[in-house]
Structures are given as C-alpha cells and as structure tokens.
Chains A and B, each alone.
Chain A
Amino acid sequence: DAKTTQPPSMDCAEGRAANLPCNHSTISGNEYVYWYRQIHSQGPQYIIHGLKNNETNEMASLIITEDRKSSTLILPHATLRDTAVYYCIVRVDNNAGNMLTFGGGTRLMVKP
C-alpha cells in the first residue's frame, strides 16, 4: 500500500470548516483513499473513502485531486466533538484482507 503524509497537528475554530490534507504521491490506480479518526480512548472510526471522484456522506466530504496524488478531508462545520486524530490510509480494495497501515495521522483540535 502507498505511503501517506499528513501534518502532525491542526487547529480549527468551532463552526468553521476543517480541511485536513493528505499527500499520497505514490498511489496506484487501484488504491483507494480511506479516512478514519480516533477520539481519545476510543477505537478508530471510519469516516469516508474514495477512488477518483469526490465523495460526501453525513460526516464529511473527500476531495481527491485529478492526479490522485493528494486528497483533502473536509468537516464542513467542525464541533468540539470532532477533536480527534485523523488518519489517511491508502489501500487496495480486494479480497486480500483487512490489514490497514496507519501512519501518524493529524491531531485536529477544534477550539471554541
């Protein structure tokens, strides 16, 4: 699976959009971009994933650049409960198993 690079930490004001970048310049054509987050003392929580097109669900939006070398997770109206470590993961979706390679992630602090 391709390696990802994320800033170690970011701050965001409550109510504003949080834009979390992820670089995955060595991504292959059949690799998906996944985002998980981990709130303190809990297990990681799936947020969203995508291959080429932008994706949106009830939690967030995922914007993938046309060359697929980077992506941005957008939390449209961040709340204090969104304070967490956000992990960007690139992996092939096949029947080879559920081994996720977590990097260091981005620690997002949402401030009042």
Chain B
Amino acid sequence: KAGVTQTPRYLIKTRGQQVTLSCSPISGHRSVSWYQQTPGQGLQFLFEYFSETQRNKGNFPGRFSGRQFSNSRSEMNVSTLELGDSALYLCASSFASGIEKLFFGSGTQLSVL
C-alpha cells in the first residue's frame, strides 16, 4: 500500500507569491490534515479535511487555506507569501477523523526568499 505522497518535495518562492502544495493520502483514507514545522515553533496544526469538509482549523491567518477533493486528495494554498512562511509542510492521513493514528508524508520544504 502506497504511503502518503506530497508534492513537490522542495519549493522556492519569493515574497508576495502564492503557492499550492498537494497531498495524496493512503488509499481509503478520508481524513487529511496539514501541519507546519519550523525550527522556532515546532509542529503546528494548520487544518483538517474529512469528506471534503474542513473539520478543524489551527491558529493561522487567512492566507493559509486548503481544500479536499472527492478522491480525498488535498491541496493547501498560501497566498502573499512572507519570509516566515518558510517551513516544512506536512500532510497526514487517516481512515477516520478523531480516533485514528495518523500517517504522515515526508513533507514539502518551502523556502521563501
């Protein structure tokens, strides 16, 4: 069974641009959640989608958004990039929402110059 796939693996953008990251969950998993990891703040929850609906949202500005498609694949978008958005963005999937262990992808390393 293939694991969680995140693309691209690395990304370089400049301030003010916008970026879209993609996550393909494990086959059959319906919940996809996103996390941001930085050296200063550690791992922080961004949001979770379950059956195309956002279930929870972390404490991030509205520039961070996401969506989930009918095949459970998810994308997250960051608009008007800031230097502080440089981070490893991790996606995790699970079969259900709330009780399952999470399976994480290897992440997308975003650098904002």
Which residues of A pack against B, CB within 8 Å?
34, 36, 41-46, 49, 87, 93-105
A75 to chain B, nearest CB (A): 18
- How far does the alpha carbon of A5 sit from the alpha carbon of B100 in the complex, in Å? 23
Known: A36-B102, A98-B94, A102-B43. 10 other contacts (CB 8 A): A42-B104, A42-B107, A43-B90, A43-B92, A46-B103, A93-B99, A94-B99, A96-B56, A100-B43, A102-B42
Query: Which chain B residues numbered 77 to 113 have a C-beta less than 8 Å away from chain A?
Result: 90-92, 94, 96-107
| B33 touches A (CB below 8 Å) | yes
Which residues of B pack against A, CB within 8 Å?
4, 31, 33, 35, 42-45, 48, 50, 55-56, 58, 90-92, 94, 96-107
CB contacts (< 8 Å) of A98 on chain B: these are 31, 33, 48, 55-56, 92, 94, 97-98, 100, 102
- Nearest-neighbor residue (CB-CB) of A92 within chain B: B98
- How far does the alpha carbon of A97 sit from the alpha carbon of B56 in the complex, in Å? 7
- Nearest-neighbor residue (CB-CB) of B104 within chain A: A43
Using A41-B106, A44-B104, A46-B102 as known contacts, say yes or no to A99 and B43 having CB atoms under 8 A apart: no
